[in-house]
Amino acid sequence: MTTGFSIRWRVPALGVLMIVTWLAPIKLGIAAETGQQIFQDICAPCHTIGKGKLVGPDLAGVTARREANWLRRQIKEPDKLIEEKDPLALQLLKEAEDVEMPPPEISDEGLAAVIAYLKSTEQLANVEVGLPSQYMPTVIISLLVLIGLTLIGLIVGKKKVDVR
């Protein structure tokens, strides 16, 4: 009896887990799209992603280089980090030739969306397209073996066998 009870509860739980697993990337994708729009509206006049420095630094790889809490504070309240004499904020101010980043009017959800967008650009940059050249000999040999075995199978398949 216990087995039937546990199976009845495991199946719906497994289904819910599968649905959540499938929908999680969709939610992150939506956040990244929203973040992209916010980035274009608020950040793009001074920052690029992978295209070099404008007024502010290039933000390519920023989520990997910087701690998440610091990054949130730098985006939300850069003036407070400068007041607190944060070394990274002061270095960025110096590199921007003493042009302070104005604190953007952005909600916490918008901030999370921008960070999700920045992370998504890094994931896209890390994806290599195509097959590495070191695997090409293996792929070619595998294809030749597959073609050879197919031809042997076709030749052998045409023989007539007398079954008595």
3-state secondary structure of 99: coil
Per-residue confidence (pLDDT) for residue 156, from 0 to 100: 82
Distance, in Å, from the CA atom of 136 to the CA atom of 19, rounded to the nearest integer, reads 38
Query: Which pLDDT band holds residue 93 (cuts at 50, 70, 90)?
Result: confident
Q: Number of C-alpha atoms within 13 angstroms, CB side, residue 62?
A: 26
Name 146's Cβ contacts closer than 8 Å, sequence gap at least 6.
none
Quick one: how many helices (H) and strands (E) in the chain? Answer: 7, 0
3-state secondary structure of 76: helix
Distance, in Å, from the CA atom of 80 to the CA atom of 89, rounded to the nearest integer, reads 9
Distance, in Å, from the CA atom of 92 to the CA atom of 75, rounded to the nearest integer, reads 12
DSSP secondary structure letter of residue 40:
I
How far separated are the first and last CA of the chain, in Å rounded?
56
Residue 70: count other Cβ atoms within 10 Å of its Cβ: 13
Q: What are the sequence ranges of the domains in the chain?
A: 10-71+106-126
* Nearest to 73, CA basis, from 100, 103, 49: 103
Fold of 10-71+106-126: Cytochrome Bc1 Complex; Chain D, domain 2 (1.10.760)
- Can you tell me the mean pLDDT for 69-96? 91
Per-residue confidence (pLDDT) for residue 19, from 0 to 100: 57
Out of 12-16, 32-36, 40-44, 139-143, pick the least confident: 12-16
Query: Which pLDDT band holds residue 7 (cuts at 50, 70, 90)?
Result: very low
Our measurement of the distance from residue 87's CA atom to the centroid of its chain's CA atoms, rounded to an integer in Å, reads 29
pLDDT tens column, 113-164: 899 888 888 765 554 556 666 778 888 899 999 999 988 888 887 767 677 7
DSSP secondary structure letter of residue 129:
P
